[in-house]
A and B are shown apart, each in its own frame.
Chain A
Amino acid sequence: MWTYEKKLMYPVKVSTCNPTLAKYLMEQYGGADGELAAALRYLNQRYTIPDKVIGLLTDIGTEEFAHLEMIATMIYKLTKDATPEQLRKAGLAEHYVSHDSALFYNNAAGVPFTAAYIQAKGDPIADLYEDIAAEEKARATYQWIIDQSDDPDLNDGLRFLREREIVHSQRFREAVEIISEDRDQKKVF
């Protein structure tokens, strides 16, 4: 089970009223390499991964939901006081006519989320390599959003999230080493 804490993982701030940035952020909300995909991918793969790395997939998967909440907070803050006209100018008219300013699991181009974005091959090496690739793709997506954004406070939160992908990738690489290890050779720390 999971329980809720009434706090964000990181203090999210946004300094400019710029709904266009909300549109870009949807890539990390409902996109192929976004936080929802990440959370669902790891928390689903963990049932069939070797016991030694179940804890890691559980903890990283849980953290991805905290990231999803941060992205949602950014989108919420950037759109909550925007008029229909401002949303139209931001390229969000198509979103508005279906959802008003409700959040939805779309990518930046408005394509709805699909389970086809994630994989579970049941082969531990294939799954962990998929996870490493997913982290690098999420890191790259954060870079491209930072490149498009001139909001310093928003970029501060995005840099935090990008850095998390680096640490996650590191841990998944270590997980590959752990499950590749010969049972008879003990790793000394």
Chain B
Amino acid sequence: MTHEKTPFRRSFTPFRGLYDPCPPLLKKTYVVPPNLFIGFQPPDFPQFSAIDALKTGTLWTPFYDYYDNPYKK
């Protein structure tokens, strides 16, 4: 599976004090996983093929959320 733009991220900018020693990260991101938005799973949910289900870690496409280090350049 490839790394697509995910709708399951949020970010905020932490307050910056005058004497913070590290260069600012600018954006601090966090995950809001798909299970927050789906509620009780409805019938006939779209599925991956068996091999893609194994590769992604879920049978159900709406639960899939690829994760990678958000601070990686």
Which residues of B lie under 8 Å from residue A102 when comparing CB positions? Answer: none
Number of interface residues of A (CB under 8 A): 23
**A146 contacts which of B33, B43, B69 (Cβ < 8 Å)?**
B69
Q: How far is the CB of B42 from chain A (nearest CB, A)?
A: 8
Number of contact residues on B: which range applies?
Answer: 20 to 34
Q: How far is the CB of A189 from chain B (nearest CB, A)?
A: 5
Q: How far is the CB of B62 from chain A (nearest CB, A)?
A: 10
Which residues of B lie under 8 Å from residue A160 when comparing CB positions? Answer: 54-57
How many angstroms between the C-alpha atoms of A174 and B41 in the bound complex?
8
Which residues of A lie under 8 Å from residue B71 when comparing CB positions? Answer: 147
Chain B interface (Cβ within 8 Å of chain A)?
A: 31, 33-35, 38, 40-43, 54-58, 60, 63-71
Chain A interface (Cβ within 8 Å of chain B)?
A: 10, 136, 139-140, 142-143, 146-147, 159-164, 166-167, 169-170, 173-174, 177, 187, 189
Q: A142-B67, A147-B70, A166-B58 are in contact. List 10 more A-B contacts (CB 8 A).
A: A10-B57, A139-B31, A143-B67, A146-B69, A147-B71, A160-B54, A160-B55, A161-B57, A166-B33, A169-B33
